[in-house]
Amino acid sequence: MAIFKGAGVAIVTPMTETGAVNFEELGRLIDFQIENSTDAIIICGTTGESSTLSEEEHLETIKYCIKRVNHRVPVIAGTGSNCTETAIYLSKEAEEVGADGLLVVTPYYNKATQAGLITHYTKIAEAVNIPIIMYNVPSRTGTNIQPQTAVTLAKNVKNIVGIKEASGNLSQVAKLAALSQGCIDIYSGNDDQILPILSLGGLGVISVLSNVAPKQTHDICQNYFDGKTAEATKMQLDAIELIDALFCEVNPIPVKHALNLMGFNAGPLRLPLSPMEPQNLEKLKNAMKNYGLVK
């Protein structure tokens, strides 16, 4: 049974002007997402600036999200680390406070071998009982989960059930789908590849775009599931300009600016992330206007 099907939002972590987590605004963003058909909330992922949250902040943010969501949709907690023991600790704590599943990124900087990845994920999975989605994003971590590695883990570790595929390599995703024969749930980790990955048997997307366009992102998936492929294709293509703008600088820099432009208080970014360059901010504003998000 999949943790979710459709569009899950990789939600931002709003900050106050002093740099603290803005829990009140996080609650507002969570409600906005659920009211606009988001299928799952992914808290404290890369988009949530997890790498600059202290462990205490990280766990408090997960706990707050679970309480605010209150079982309306699944909550998947980002608990990955480049240290296996830290990932185990965060994963156990997230399970304890009621997370429905975990999103565990590959160890960054260490550049583990495929054998190392198998051991890393196996030890985390053995420490908890809830399902795990692996997160493959080699552009950020320097480590790529090869298709055979993902399949080996899914077949041999009962609660490793999915993978967020953000390699950008559709040939790799196709090979993964062919090898897995359905033993692992595949989610797109790139908003410009939602439809291609759905067409390869994917179950949905873990999305940055959903932060600003939750209903539209949900509908791309739902139209495809309902057999309305022409409508889904048009929606995917209509969103490309905005998606490009949301990634014209390192995520989550543009998406937090976009939410602020929409009247939310996503607040500032934590260093080393910095405000957008003026020319890129204009690009983002224009894309948002063309998509109908701002006037």
Could you count the other beta carbons within 10 Å of the beta carbon of residue 109?
9
CB-based contacts of 227, cutoff 8 Å, min separation 6: none
Look up tokens 């054998």; give the residue: 115
Is 135 a known active-site residue? yes
Report the relative pairing of strands 75-78 and 185-188 from DSSP bridges.
unpaired
**Residue tagged active-site, from 64, 108, 164, 283:** 164
Is 164 a known active-site residue? yes
Helix (H) or strand (E) run with residue 216 in it: helix 214-225
| Cα–Cα distance list, 255 to 71, 187, 271, 289, 294 (Å) | 26, 20, 16, 14, 14
C-alpha 291/C-alpha 208 separation (Å) is: 15
**Residue tagged active-site, from 135, 187, 224, 291:** 135
Q: Give me the numbers of helices (H) and strands (E) for the chain, helices first please.
A: 13, 8
Report the relative pairing of strands 160-165 and 101-105 from DSSP bridges.
unpaired
- For residue 189, report the phi and psi dihedrals to the nearest 5 degrees: -105, 5
Provide the residue type at 38 as one letter: T
Q: What is the largest CA-CA distance in the chain?
A: 52
Mapped onto helix, strand or coil, the DSSP state of residue 127 is coil
**What residues are annotated to the active site?**
135, 164
